[in-house]
Each structure stands twice: as structure tokens, then as C-alpha cells.
Amino acid sequence: MNPKTYICIQRKCSFSAFALIMFFTTNLLAQAPNNYADYPSRPIKFIIPQAAGGGTDLIGRKVAQKLSEQLKQPTVVENKTGAGSLVGTEFAANAASDGYTLMIGGLFNMVMNKALIKDLSYDPEKSFIPLGYISAYSFVLLAKPDLPVNSFAEFFKYAKERPNQLNFASAGIGTLQHVWGTILFNGMGLNLTHVPFKGAAQGYQEMLGGRIDVMFDNMSASKQYIQTNKLKGLSLSSLERNPLIPQVPTINETGVTKFNGESWFALFAPINTPVQIVSKLRTSMELINKDPEFIAQVEKDGGRMLNISSQDQQQFLKDEINKWVSLVNKNNIKAE
């Protein structure tokens, strides 16, 4: 074969191969937006990394129902429990980034796990992308009925004069009741004995029985005891008072010490989920956060809506991690 003819044929083959590759690439790119436009075309798996019946489960199921209504597709709720919230969170972190596996997360697994667990198997900032923050709940410092104090200032004075004589309950080592209680009392220079239980319910029973002095717990669980005068509400961890127990002041307004924190929930997707799907889910979450029925339910439970713009969602998570990791390390709090 003439060398010139061979080169010509080779060039034609190369050009043909290049044209074929470009055809398929262009065709795939043209199809991709249509695939995203069809999202969701099948049921969405909704991971809740906590047991059924708890606060995370309740808010998660409400969001799942509302999201199903928005997207016109079923949401299949799956409670993946084990090792605290680690099993469910790890599962969601390793799921396909296609928008068909979402997770209800919050301060408990996206911040406190990072602060308390040395070799965490996922990175909250690098493994997930927030789709919308949902609600936030203050913590209330509760006292047993016969503790001779009626205000936060009186409690401070009473406990200060009795080092190591008072105790505080939690739902277990590493829980928010334990971590925040320790941070609060250390910040006040108080020495209280921590008594961990296997759940908050047992802590309440012991308080009602007069065997536990105080507990720092979520507003959604504690409000009923204050409203019925079964336990004393001394202060709130939020920046503003709650209309369900308006007589209870915030910690900051008492002038005794400074403390600001709220337990919050949000919807997350695995990192690298396509931007078109993320945008669609964020729009749905914005609509859910404006739903009067949903808002009423959150407020009835003692929470407030946590409306954070999409451009600020990642920064909010980063700020929360930096804040609480620093405080946990400063107070030398361990999960074990």
C-alpha cells in the first residue's frame, strides 16, 4: 500500500472514531437534563438514624410525608439504628448520589458525633450536602419539685454552696443532655455528679421521685412537666423565650452565665448528588417550611422553624461543628 494512502486511511479512521465518540458524548449530555427533569421517577428512601418513636423519627416522618406530597412520589422511611446514630448515618453517606436516598440528620449526628468520636467513619461536611434545615429546639434546665430554688440565680447560689452534693441526669453518656449539661455547669464553676440513664424517660421518673436534682433536656420533651407544674423550669438555652412556657427566662438574660444552643434537624443527601436534583429538593424543602400545617406542628412541639438560605446552609453546618467541637474539647468530654 502506498504510504500516503495508508496515512490518509488512518486519518479517516481516526476522524471517524473521533466523530463517533463526539456523537455518543453529545447524545448522553443531551439526555442527562431530561433524566434530572424526570426526578423523582421512583420512591425515595428516607433514612432516619434513630429508633422509631423518638423526636428524630417524628420530625423525619412528617418531612417524609410532606416531601412525598411535593414530589408526587412515595417516600419509604427506614429507621437504621445501631451504635447510636452511626449505622444509619454511615449507610446514607455511602449511598448512591442519585437523590433516591436521603437522610434526616441533626446536631446529634452531624456535629456531636464529630466532636465526640475520634475516628468517625464519615465527615459531615465532606460526606453530605444539606438540602434544607427544618426546625430548632431549645433545651430547658429542669429542677425536681422539692429542690429549694425557684430561679436560675437561686440554683446557681444553692449548687455553688454544695459542691458535689447535687446530681444531673442524662439519657446516656455522649447525649446532648450529658454534653450540654457538662458545658453549662462547668461554665458556671459548679460541681455536679452526672447520672446517665438508658433514656430520658427514666431520668424524668427519677426527678419526679426526688432522686435526681436537675436535668438539661429538649423543650419538646420537657415542656409538659413545666406546664403541669410537675417540675420546675429554671432557664432556656435559646436566645429567645418560648411562647409555650413564657415564664421561663433564657440563660443569657439571667446574667449568671452565657450559653446559647439549640438542637436542630435538617435533610441531607450524599455528597456529589447532581446540582439539578439538589436544587429541586431544596425548593421542595422551602415550600415545606412555609406549610402552615407543618409550622403549627413544629411550634406545638416546642420548636421553631429554621429557615436558612441555600447559600448559607453549608456555612451553618461548619459554624456549628467549629463551635461545639471546640467546647467539647475545652471541657474534656468523652463519649466513652
Query: What pLDDT, in 10s, does the model give residues 145-177?
Result: 999 999 999 999 999 999 999 999 998 888 899
Cα-based torsion angle of the residue sequence 187, 189, 195, 201 in order, rounded to the nearest 10 degrees? -50
- pTM here? 0.84
Whole-number pLDDT of residue 300:
94
Terminal alpha carbon distance of the chain: 79
Listed by start position, the domains of the chain span 44-136+263-330, 138-254
In CATH, what is the architecture of 138-254? 3-Layer(aba) Sandwich (3.40)
Whole-number pLDDT of residue 336:
65
Domains 44-136+263-330 and 138-254 in one fold: yes
Cα-based torsion angle of the residue sequence 127, 136, 295, 306 in order, rounded to the nearest 10 degrees? -60
Count of beta carbons in the 10 Å neighbourhood of residue 322: 12
Strand pairing class (167-170; 214-218):
parallel
Kindly tell me if the per-residue pLDDT of 187 is higher than 80: yes
Rounded to 5°, angle at Cα 59 from 54 and 62: 125
Cα distances from 168 to residues 101, 153, 177, 205, 233, in angstroms, run 39, 17, 9, 13, 14
Confidence of residue 85 (pLDDT cuts 50, 70, 90): confident
Mean pLDDT of 220-243: 95
Q: Which residue has the higher pLDDT, 199 or 202?
A: 202
Which DSSP state fits 230? S
Q: What is the mean pLDDT of the chain?
A: 89
- In this structure, the chain runs to a length of 336
CATH number for the domain whose boundaries are 44-136+263-330: 3.40.190.150
Count of beta carbons in the 10 Å neighbourhood of residue 157: 13
Cα distances from 110 to residues 73, 116, 152, 182, in angstroms, run 27, 11, 30, 20
